[in-house]
A and B are shown apart, each in its own frame.
Chain A
Amino acid sequence: MLSNVVKDKIIAIVTKENYEDSKTERLVYSYDSTPNLQAMPDAVVSPRNTEEISKILKICNEFNVPIVPRGSGTNLCGGTCPVEGGIVLLLKHMYKILEIDEENLTITVQPGVITLDLMKAVEAKGLFYPPDPGSMKISTIAGNISENAGGLRGLKYGVTRDYVIGLEVVLPNGDIIRTGGKLAKDVAGYDLTRLMVGSEGTLGVITEATLKLLPMPETKKTMLALYSDLESAAKTVSKIIANKIIPITLEFLDQPTIKVVEAHAKIGLPTDAKAVLLIEQDGPPEVVERDIEKIIKICKEQNAVSVQVASTEAEAESLRTARRTALSALARLKPTTILEDATVPRSEIARMVNAINDIAKKYKLEICTFGHAGDGNLHPTCPTDARNHEEMERVENAFAEIFDKAIEFGGTITGEHGVGVMKAPYLEWKLGKEGVAAMKAIKQSFDPNNIMNPGKVFAKQTRKRVVITK
């Protein structure tokens, strides 16, 4: 528990109503969306503005109290789980959209704005915010920024990082800094905006963000291609891009996933297909038309068993459902769903999927793979049961091998979920000792007392832990 001195000082800033330390209230902030990970904070604090946050951080820094910024707690790497106790700083009450600037094509928001609300607000003005994480209905924008969230449109439009152009951040010592701004070009010194994006709440608290917007594309078309072998599907992906077409979405489902999706959603997917690609393109009608025709041709050349193009929005929606229900369907199989995030260059997708299948067989596990084929970001997912410790051990080892393979194929240990607690032990595999040391040096200079989200990104112990049992 926090000392009375700290508690009183914080209550003096945020008032009693915004300070919780009953056991029940602490318990409900002891987890996020990460499977099987839980740790109690000492208190939960809900500030209302930047000044309050600055004062809170000063106190935490003075008294060495860990502080974990939190939006809706939807991340999958343990990023908002208070593994070293301390204060969970709830940013949900700062949810105002401050400005939509149609001349500069920017939006400026507070950290707790829900991603979908932001999208709707800009769409109402004919504008477009492309990053679309799966959790957009509830995830907050600062959470997206802190984790550098991806999504289904990453191939053509990039990820959250590519849209953040200015930030207001409270540093661990309480200093308030502003980085970037409404500028397309800005090379004044180190790019602290980029440094903050994806820093997982370890360098400071994001209190305001300015994001870049695009004009809304005129039209969109959706299609689904089925394959009787994995190689053909994977080849299609690289052929499309080699033909200088970049679709917005190029999603992949493997056979185990297709079977599960079909069993639950009953949308008429052929369960004998080895792979499915969901492809979407947007832009001016004539360009979309031309691209889709080319894509159909490529799919057929690559031995697609069937190609369906949606003729109505309702049809398109049902095709998208196929991809979107993947997680839902897998989540219904067994009590615990370990959704992972290995990423490889897209030319290596077939090899990677084959490797995942071999590893699953080796460890006698069911691992279904789906994901963003276009950008090489795969989600091997293992339905399991956290109570079965022996099986969890196998899951642990299987995923370690999967990450190892991903790196071997020129990939990375996480494409969009972040490092957090879950990938920390593997960080060195990707970056090497020197890379990790460089990152630690940055962390040290921002946060010498290690109060900002401690226990994340950098592993304390060397034990590998994808799957944590308490």
Chain B
Amino acid sequence: MTTVKEQKTIQDQFKARMNEDELLNCMRCGFCLPACPTYIESGFKESHSPRGRIAMMKAVVDGLIEPDEDFERSLDLCLSCRACEAVCPSGVKYGELLEEARDIISQNKKYSLPTRIVRKAVFEGLFPHPNRMKNLTGLIGFYQRSGIQTIARKIGFLGLLPDSLTAMEKVLPKVATLKQLKNRPDYLPAIGEQTKRVAFFSGCLMDSMFLETNDATMKLLQLAGCEIVIPQTQTCCGALHGHYGEKTSSKDLAIRNIKAFEDLNVDFIITNAGGCGAFLVEYGHLFQDDPEWNDRAHAFSNKIQDISEILVAVKFHEKVRLELPFQIITYQDSCHLKNVMKTASAPRTLLKAIKGTEYREMYDADRCCGSAGIYNIIESENSMKMLDYKMVQTKNTQASTVVTANPGCLLQMKLGIEREGLASTMRGIHIVDLLLEAVKN
């Protein structure tokens, strides 16, 4: 519950902080409605559409409504997939409006104790600390390897956890040992003729839970002729913080990253996770009112590029032979990679270049899978609705390989495969892992 007093403070903050120009830019044409997954899943409720959410934000600023439970619920349910931005004639920066609104609410409201503990643990205790991430991942690795996982599953211990977490436990990747996790390279030379000098943004979740995918990414970059530097002082991108109303923390993390990458003299900073990449390309916006950091943030953001873009740019798929045993491949867009980083054709170009396989486009491939950061855990029911729709489309392609380009989407698609009982005939895989498989084959 948000108290009346908290509502008053939130309303004042809305008046002071929301970008009125941007709110007015929404011409209410409704073009965003068919692009919005929550609008569709809610049974066409305007309050769960971008146009409706913007109207509500403006109404709070204008004092027409109070920021009540309904308003908060509507903002909470947004996946922030940003599909609405891609189709908006006026170019309304919905993502920025949403982040600001969420920040105002979260900073001015007292959450229940359990929520406070979880938020603090995730946003302050875990993600900003690469070593803690690795230790936790190491623990998961121990859990998986020691046989505890098998026992836990057998005795039904997992039944005690909420359904959303139980489901997630099943699809976690097999993670590396703590030693491997902590022993990371900081420089890798190009293999063959050097084409570019790049830095690699290794990420927090990607460099712990998805270590193998990070290794595969670097291997591909090397094969593409890239010399790679991996600054050890980099940290979490801050996307989760930004999306969940912890703007100050996300700025702190951004500053650490800008500093870590700024004197490396590289052509690009490469990411392999759509969610992180999208936040990194918007560092410029994060510091728009901060003259000290604005230019440095923009310089950083301008160098961000997704792995698939650079591979296509250096014609990796034409130079290196990619081949796999016959399989039907389909691709699930990462919302942020597509709608914010505008990368959609490069991954498809690479996948279509794998000889011996057939690529089939999935209907609504760019509709959010429902993963959306930690949305699938905190809004499990809605997330599973999105996933069910996605799995219908996936099955229609008859693909045995579902490719994604973001860790959240990957886990979600694996979860979908598990829920549908398709684990024996279908797999979810990150694009770089599949490409490396195709190189080795």
Contact = CB atoms under 8 A, between A and B. Distances in A.
Nearest to B66: A23
A23 B7 CA distance: 15
B71 to A, nearest CB: 5
Nearest to A76: B29
Given A27-B59, A33-B30, A331-B90, A93 B24 contact: no
Contacts of A27: 55-56, 59, 64-65
B217 to A, nearest CB: 32
B31 A137 contact: yes
Interface string B33-52: 11000000001101101001
B91 interface: yes
Given A25-B47, A29-B46, A92-B44, A73 B71 contact: no
A24 B47 contact: yes
A333 to B, nearest CB: 9
Contacts of B74: 24
B21 interface: yes
Contacts of A23: 65-66, 68, 70
Contacts of B21: 335
A332 interface: yes
Interface string A323-361: 000011001100111000000000000000000000000
Contact of A336 (B24, B68, B70): B24
Contact of A73 (B25, B30, B90, B91): B30
Interface residues of A, number: 34
B32 to A, nearest CB: 9
A163 B71 CA distance: 41
A30 B91 CA distance: 23
Nearest to A330: B89
A254 to B, nearest CB: 19
Contact of B27 (A24, A93, A138, A337): A337
A35 B27 contact: yes
B34 A31 contact: no
Nearest to A75: B30
Given A24-B71, A72-B33, A337-B27, A332 B56 contact: no
Interface string A25-54: 101111111110000000000000000000
Nearest to A26: B65
A31 B31 contact: no
Given A72-B33, A138-B33, A331 B27 contact: yes
A56 interface: no
A34 B90 CA distance: 14
Contacts of A35: 27-28
B25 to A, nearest CB: 5
19 contacts: A23-B66, A24-B70, A25-B70, A27-B59, A28-B49, A28-B56, A29-B46, A33-B27, A33-B30, A35-B28, A74-B29, A93-B43, A137-B34, A139-B30, A328-B91, A331-B27, A331-B89, A335-B21, A386-B24
3 smallest CB-CB distances across A and B, nearest first, come from A328-B89, A335-B24, A24-B70
Interface of A: 22-25, 27-35, 72-74, 90, 92-93, 114, 135, 137-139, 327-328, 331-332, 335-337, 385-387
